[in-house]
Amino acid sequence: QVQLQESGPGLVKPSETLSLTCTVSGGSVSSSSYYWSWIRQPPGKGLEWIGYVYYSGSTNYNPSLKSRLTISVDTSKNQFSLKLTSVNAADTAVYFCGRRECSGGSCYEGHWGQGTVVIVSS
């Protein structure tokens, strides 16, 4: 059973860069069968899709975040990462990493991490 665990600073100052890592166990980020995703949830609000990365390094980003966002994969560490630059208070959220798979014409995240809280504040 694959497990995903988010890690990173819980507090980031405005205008700085938010960096998170997702460590995968019970599965390999090098697998060609999956994509590796990030979503977030601001306090008291709904889910927002951030983006995903494939083992090859190809990515797909939410257009609203694309100019500030980089998602990358490190196959040697079996991890993938998120970097969001120039953060502001609106980036305060719980961030979740997940594994995306495609089957029978449908793609979905069947597994998510437990989430990590990131607060943007000086």
Partner 1 sequence: QSVLTQPPSASGTPGQRVTISCSGSRSNIGGHPVNWYQQLPGAGPKLLIYNDNQRPSGVPDRFSGSKSGTSASLAISGLQSEDEADYYCVAWDDSLNCPVFGGGTKLTVL
- Interface with partner 1 (CB under 8 A): 39, 46-49, 51, 60-63, 96, 103-110, 112-115
20 or 39, CB closer to partner 1?
Answer: 39
Task: Give least dist CB 72 to partner 1, A.
Answer: 18
What letter does residue 106 receive in the DSSP assignment?
A: E
26 or 105, CB closer to partner 1?
Answer: 105
Q: Which sign, positive or negative, has the C-alpha torsion 10, 23, 102, 71? A: positive
Task: Give least dist CB 79 to partner 1, A.
Answer: 18
Q: Which amino acid is at 25?
A: S
Task: Give least dist CB 17 to partner 1, A.
Answer: 22
Q: Are 52 and 36 in contact (CB under 8 A)?
A: yes
- Give the whole-angstrom CA distance, residue 45 versus residue 76: 35
Return the closest-CA partner of residue 37 out of 52, 23, 48: 52
Which phi and psi (to 5°) does residue 69 adopt?
A: -110, 140
31 or 62, CB closer to partner 1?
Answer: 62
Task: Give least dist CB 56 to partner 1, A.
Answer: 18
23 or 62, CB closer to partner 1?
Answer: 62
